[in-house]
Amino acid sequence: MSMKAKEVMEGIGRVFRFKKGTIEPPESYLGARLRKKTLDGHNMWMMSSYDYVVAAVKNVKETLKDSPKWKMPKNAPTPMFSAYELEMDGSTR
């Protein structure tokens, strides 16, 4: 982390080539979609695992497609109840 992130990235850009040739906020990281959000007056980054989960399920379905031993369940139980609401992390760190 740096308070001068642009300067740091420009220094890195003198040694390594960036995709699209520009320095811009990230859209994804390790398969997770990223976006900036303001909550209670504080800027923060949010991660969504949606794209990662969709790709993982597609991969499993493709792998098991021709398997005589393993099949995808048609009505699998869920580990969460339908009224589940994500809690916000209230820690000060």
Q: Which of 52, 73, 51, 55 is nearest to 64 (CA)?
A: 73
pLDDT 10s digits, 8-45: 888 888 898 887 777 777 888 887 888 888 888 988 88
Give residue 93's pLDDT. Answer: 63
Q: What is the pTM of this model?
A: 0.47
Query: Average pLDDT of 49-71?
Result: 87
Only one residue has tokens 């009224």, namely: 83
Indicate the pLDDT class of residue 58, thresholds 50, 70 and 90.
very high
For residue 46, which of 38, 30, 29, 34 has the smallest C-alpha distance?
A: 34
Where along the chain do its domains lie? Answer: 5-64
- C-alpha distances (whole Å) from 8 to each of 12, 17, 20, 22, 78 are 6, 14, 18, 14, 44
